Structure 1
Amino acid sequence: MTVDFAVLAARAERLRELHRGEMLVLPNAWDAASAAIVAEAGFPAVATASAAVSAVLGHPDGEGAPWREMFAAAGRIARAVPVPVTVDAEAGYGLPARELVDRLLEVGAVGCNLEDTDHRAGGLVDAGAQARRLADVRSAAVAAGVPVVVNARVDTFLPASGVPEGERVAEAVRRGRLYLEAGADCVYPIGVRDRDVIATLVAELPGPVNGNTGDRLDLAALREVGVARVSYGPRFHREALAGFRAAVEEVRRVTGG
C-alpha cells in the first residue's frame, strides 16, 4: 500500500494529544470488524490486543504468531477505520528499531505497545537495554517523519517477571522513568489491580500512565487517580467468544444434539 506520511504524522500527533487531556479509553480490537465497531461508537483511536489477534490467527500469545501475520492483521484494522491505530507489537518480534517503525507505518499504524518481557529466555529484559531499544525506536520514528506514539509496557507485576511482590512497585517506577527518559510517550504497568498501587505509579512517574480496569478499579477510580489511558486487552474478544459459545450450545440443545 502507498504510505501517506503526512496523514500518518497528523494521526500520530492526534494520538499523542489524546494522552494529555481527558482519559483515553481503548476497548481493544482484534480484526477489521471489531475495530470498525470501536470507531463507529465514537472512540477517537483504536488499539489492538496481541492475545486476541494471535488467537484469531490460530497462534498463542507471547510472540507465538509470525510477525508478518500480526502486521498484516494490523493493516486490515488500520484500513477499516478513520482514526489513529496503535498496535500491540508485543516485544517487537526481534526486529531492528528502524524496521519495526517502517513496518508499523507501512500498515498504517501510528502507535505501538512494546513490552519488556523476554519471551525466549523468560523474565524481564534488562531495563537499560530496553531503554536503549526504546530510544532507538524514537530515533527511527523521528527519521521517518512520523512521531509514533510508544506505550512502554512494564511487566514487573506479572508473575512470570520473577520480581518479588514487595519490589514490584519500586522496580516499575525505576523502569518507567528510564523508558520515559528514553523517549516513550506513556508507561503501561500491566497487571495492576490495586488502587493505591496505580495511584503511586501515577504520582511517581513523570509521564502518562496506562491502566487496566478490574474488580476494584473501574473507569471512575482510574480517572480519579489520574490514569491517562485505559486498555482492556483481550477481554472483549473473550467475551465475544463466550457469547458465541453460548449461542452455539443453545442451537445444539434445541436441535437435540
Structure 2
Amino acid sequence: MLPTPAQITARRSAFRQLHASGCFAIPNPWDAGSARYLAQLGFKALASTSSGRAWSQGAPDGGLPLPAVLDYLRELVAATELPVNADFEGGFADTPDGVARNVRAAIDTGIAGVSIEDASGDATAPLLALPTAVARLRAARAAIDASGQDVMLIGRAENFFVGRPDLDDTLRRLQAYADAGADCLYAPGITTREQIAAVVAAVAPKPVNVLVGGPSALTMAELAALGVRRVSVGGALARAAWGGLQRAARQLAEQGRFDGFEGAVPGRELNQRMQS
C-alpha cells in the first residue's frame, strides 16, 4: 500500500532522528520481499542497493536506467513502514542541473534520504574533480531545499572503492561535501579503526555511515564506540543470497545432488511473512 503524505513526513522525521545519537544498522534489501523480511527483524530503516537490485534484474551494478531505479525506490517505500535511504549512485546525470532534476524525482518516490557519490565511471580518472563533485552535491542540496521535504543528503567519497585509497584526499572530499550541505558522510571501503576514527573526526558533528560488506572484526558496538552513527551492508545480503543459490544450483547441475537445499526457509514461513 502506498503511504500517505503524512506517513512519508513521519518517516523522514524518524530517519533524521535516528542520526542524532547512537548507532543503527541500515540493511539493504533488493526487493519488496527482502524489505518486508528485514522490517520484521526490527530494523529501524532500510537502504536501497544499486548492486543487489541490478543483479536481481540480470544487470551489473550501475546497469539500471533511472526509471527502473525510481520504480525500485517506490517498491521499497511501499513495502514497509520504515524510512528508506536511496543509493542514488552519481545522480544519473552529467551536470549539476541534471542531478538536481533527478533528485527531485527521487524525492517524489517517498524516500527519506539520498546518497550521491563522486565516482566518475572513467577507469583512467575514477574520481570526479572535487569542484565538479561539490557542484553536484550543492545542486542536490538545492533540490531538496526547494522541495520543502525533510530528506537527508548523504555525500559519498569513493576513493577506497575505485582504487584510490588516499585517506587525506578522502577526508578533504568529505569535509567539502559537508560544507556543501550533506547531512551525513560516507566513505565506502574504509575498514580499519584508524580510518573510521579519522573520518568521524574530520566531519564532526555530522553523522558518518560505515559500510560493512563482508566479515569484519568490528562489531556494531565497536563501531558505535568509534562514533559511527549508522552501518550499511550494501550488496552483502544480496551476495549472501546469491551464494546460497549458487551452492545449491551447482550441486544440482554438476553432481545431481540436492544437499544444497538443506537450511532452506520453509515455504510456509515465507508465506506467513509475506502476508499483508
| 1:8-23 map, 5 Å | 8-23=8-23
Aligned AA (2:229): A
Inter-partner Cα distance in structure 1 for 2:139 and 2:107: 16
Partner of 1:217: 218
- Per-residue deviation at 1:250? 4.6
Superposed CA deviations along residues 8-32 of structure 1, whole A, max 9, x for unmatched, are 3332222111111221211111000
| 1:88-167 map, 5 Å | 88-94=87-93, 96-120=98-122, 122-160=125-163, 163=164, 165=165
Partner of 1:76: 75
Q: Secondary structure at the residue paired with 1:190?
A: coil
Inter-partner Cα distance in structure 1 for 2:172 and 2:108: 33
Identity of aligned residues (%): 31
- 1:38 equivalenced with 2:38 (yes/no): yes
Change (3 A) 1:38 1:152: same
Of 167, 170, 173 in structure 1, the residue corresponding to residue 171 of structure 2 is 173
Aligned AA (2:33): A
Q: Residue 27 of structure 2 contacts residue 45 of structure 2 at CA under 8 Å; is this kept in 1? A: no
Is there any run of 5+ residues in structure 1 with no aligned partner, and where? none
What TM-score results when the alignment is normalised by the length of structure 2?
Answer: 0.83
- 1:65 equivalenced with 2:80 (yes/no): no
Inter-partner Cα distance in structure 2 for 1:225 and 1:249: 41
Change (3 A) 1:229 1:126: same
| 1:41-52 map, 5 Å | 41-52=41-52
- Per-residue deviation at 1:125? 1.0
Is there any run of 5+ residues in structure 2 with no aligned partner, and where? 259-276
Inter-partner Cα distance in structure 2 for 1:3 and 1:33: 17
- Per-residue deviation at 1:236? 0.7
What TM-score results when the alignment is normalised by the length of structure 1?
Answer: 0.89
Q: Residue 112 of structure 1 contacts residue 148 of structure 1 at CA under 8 Å; is this kept in 2? A: yes
Tell me the C-alpha RMSD between the 2 structures.
2.2
Alignment coverage as a number of residue pairs: 250
Superposed CA deviations along residues 192-240 of structure 1, whole A, max 9, x for unmatched, are 1111111111122221111123533332221111111101010111111
Q: Secondary structure at the residue paired with 1:96?
A: helix
| 1:164-243 map, 5 Å | 165=165, 168-206=166-204, 207-213=206-212, 214-243=215-244
Q: Residue 193 of structure 1 contacts residue 216 of structure 1 at CA under 8 Å; is this kept in 2? A: no
Q: Secondary structure at the residue paired with 1:210?
A: strand
